[in-house]
Amino acid sequence: MSIQQYYRFAAITYLNGSIAALIPVMIVVIPLSILSHGKEVVWTALPFILYSLVSYQSYLLNHDRSLEIDKNVPEDDNLSLRSKDNYLLMFMPAPSLRMLLFSPKGAILGEIRDARYLKLRWFLPYFLDRFIPAEYGLYNVNNELVMKVQWKRDRANVYDSNGNLRVKIEEQERNKYNIQFFNQAFSIIVQSERLFTDIQFKNTNRKTIGRVRKGWMPLEWDAFFKDANTPVLSFDDDLSEEERSIVLALLVKIYRYRNH
């Protein structure tokens, strides 16, 4: 999937949502209003109509974005935890999380998604879905597992593709996490602006090792990414694979239910 295909898929999703929102109006509200001859029933259709209009506008927006990308998206290297220092994050509809990682050239490198996908979870409210064990996988473009993350309340385990435990994460206090790997222990502090427009991951020395920013994107990336608020994930270039996996594991917790 390229960024152009992503915009096309998003457009179709919003269009389907717009049409689906009108079905209750046509099947229930309109017949009831005819039978009852009352205006009160008509007002019940207003939320469905408004949602349909908003979804249709989102369809037009994403459709236009896909047409604006007139360049061929080049194929990029496959994803590894050391393949890139910058990723652009996009989100697909999912019961809990499906986060796509794109290169600045518009090619998809991989995705983080829920390993326990069930259609029933689409209809579960947030407070019930949280009881399902949180297990997420990072997959490359060939759908091969790169790493796995398991969250349980304030603790997480990070495994490699072979199922070997590599990192343990425990939240000591709000936004401060204790990290253990290879018999080493240190802390990572997460500092975030409101609405997650700027998320910084800092080590014990207060050095920023990873960062997610919205509203910050080099002009040359605009050829493929038409939304200036696309989140950009940046890693310190000398970060190890384990340290990068820690940042991604923390992002899983932050963005869970981003597009539920």
Give me 165's structure tokens. Answer: 């435990």
Q: Are residues 124 and 225 in the same domain?
A: yes
Measured N-to-C along each axis, helices 46-68 and 3-24 cross at an angle, to the nearest 10 degrees, of 160
Q: Are residues 178 and 138 in the same domain?
A: yes
138 falls within a domain? yes
141 falls within a domain? yes
198 falls within a domain? yes
Structure-token match 């970060």, residue found: 239
Q: Are residues 195 and 245 in the same domain?
A: yes
Residue 118 · residue 95 · CB < 8 Å: yes
Q: What number is the average pLDDT over the span 213-237?
A: 88
The residue out of 26, 42, 68 marking a domain boundary is: 68
Q: Are residues 57 and 97 in the same domain?
A: no
Residue 122 pLDDT more than 80? no
Q: What number is the average pLDDT over the span 84-100?
A: 86
Q: Are residues 104 and 64 in the same domain?
A: no
Which residue(s) pair with 193 in the sheet?
Answer: none
Place 76 in a pLDDT band, splitting at 50, 70 and 90. low
Give residue 125's identity as a one-letter amino acid code: P
Q: Are residues 183 and 245 in the same domain?
A: yes
177: containing domain: 86-255
Beta strands per DSSP E along 144-197:
145-152, 155-160, 165-173, 176-181, 184-192
116 falls within a domain? yes
Whole-number Å distance between alpha carbons of 124 and 128: 6
For the chain, the domain total comes to 2
Q: pTM for this one?
A: 0.81
Each residue's pLDDT tens digit, 166-198: 899 998 888 889 988 877 888 899 988 777 788
Each residue's pLDDT tens digit, 135-171: 899 998 888 898 999 998 888 999 988 989 989 999 8
Residue 245: CATH number of its domain = 2.40.160.200
Q: For residue 73, what pLDDT is reported?
A: 62
Q: Are residues 31 and 136 in the same domain?
A: no
The β-bridge relationship of strands 184-192 and 208-213 is unpaired
Q: Are residues 114 and 174 in the same domain?
A: yes
Q: Are residues 133 and 59 in the same domain?
A: no
78 falls within a domain? no
Residue 111 · residue 100 · CB < 8 Å: yes
Q: Are residues 42 and 92 in the same domain?
A: no
